[in-house]
Amino acid sequence: MTVVAVLSMKGGVGKTTVALGLASAAWDRSLRTLVIDMDPQANASLVLEPVDAVFTTSDVLADARPGVAVDAIVPSAWGRGIDVLPAERSLEHRTVSRERNSALRLRTALATTPRSYDLVVIDCPPSLGELTRNALSTADCAVIVTEPSHFAIHGAAEALEAVDVIARSTNPMLRARAVVVNRFDPADREHLGNLRLLHEAHGELVQDPPLPYCAGIPVTQRAMSPLHAWNSPGSQEVAQTMDDLLDRLMPPARPARPMPRVSLARYLA
């Protein structure tokens, strides 16, 4: 089982889009997947449409008895074994805690969750506070999402630092596995310069290729549909990058199908 937290300090950069993209790639492969929504905005929950949800991550963190999360996990409307632990607005009240070990509440609550999931994806809120610390204390890998802008790349560096802090304290298993650059425009010199800076700072961690602006992304989200069920050329390109990202987190037994694509090196030359 791979448990991945998708995070960034900055809001609106595409965390939920990448978390849902990974869930969509898993849906396409019929992998048993759980999406945990740790954002009070509950955007991932909105797109996944939890079926008959009674409890949420807010209840789970409030209770935090070992294994209590099982009662809050429900199927999503996507089907094919994609489950969801949904969020709600009141999760906001769980964002400040002075208790010892409060960053371990999610991990404890999931403790006896059946290990039958192939993949668990945790969508984080736009901060490195208590909720994200809970996600990082539960995950074994982290994906940082950023845009090719000056402020966003500072946010990405801070997110990577937060991953290091958790790896050195509560969760030695945790590793940063990818930095995904979203809404990249190769015609924009500012984007090219910032992509180069990201590559110099984080090397191979930067996912290749970056994600372009794709009008199909908000459309599939509004339709509450997996990206992989959508047929427009733009959505297919993003779906391919999500497949590559999933391969990176869960290396396939067989080599992935080769596909001609634009390489990061082309922008960095």
Residue choice 217, 227, 239, 246 for contact with ligand ATP (CB under 6 A)? 217
The Cα–Cα gap between 59 and 55 comes to 6
What share of residues in the chain are helix, strand, coil (percent, to 5)? 45, 15, 40
Which residues, numbered 14-73, are part of the site for Mg ion (CB under 5 A)? 15-16, 43
| Residue 219: CB minimum distance to ligand ATP, A | 8
Position 183 contacts Mg ion (CB under 5 A): no
**Cis link prior to 218 (omega < 30° from 0)?**
no
x-or-dash pattern for ligand ATP, window 121-160, by CB under 6 A?
-----x----------------------------------
Residue choice 41, 57, 58, 194 for contact with ligand ATP (CB under 6 A)? 41
Partner from Mg ion, ligand ATP, none binding residue 183, C-beta < 5-8 Å depending on class: ligand ATP
Residue choice 54, 151, 213, 251 for contact with ligand ATP (CB under 6 A)? 213
Residue matched to tokens 């009240």: 93
Burial of 234 (0-12, 13-18, 19+ CB in 10 A): middle
Q: Which is nearer to ligand ATP, 141 or 214 (CB)?
A: 214
Count Cβ atoms below 10 Å from residue 133 Cβ, excluding itself. Answer: 24
| Residue 213: CB minimum distance to ligand ATP, A | 4
The Cα–Cα gap between 76 and 26 comes to 13
Q: Which is nearer to ligand ATP, 170 or 236 (CB)?
A: 236
Burial of 54 (0-12, 13-18, 19+ CB in 10 A): exposed
* Contacting positions for ligand ATP (CB under 6 A): 11-17, 39, 41, 43, 126, 182-183, 211, 213-214, 217-218, 221
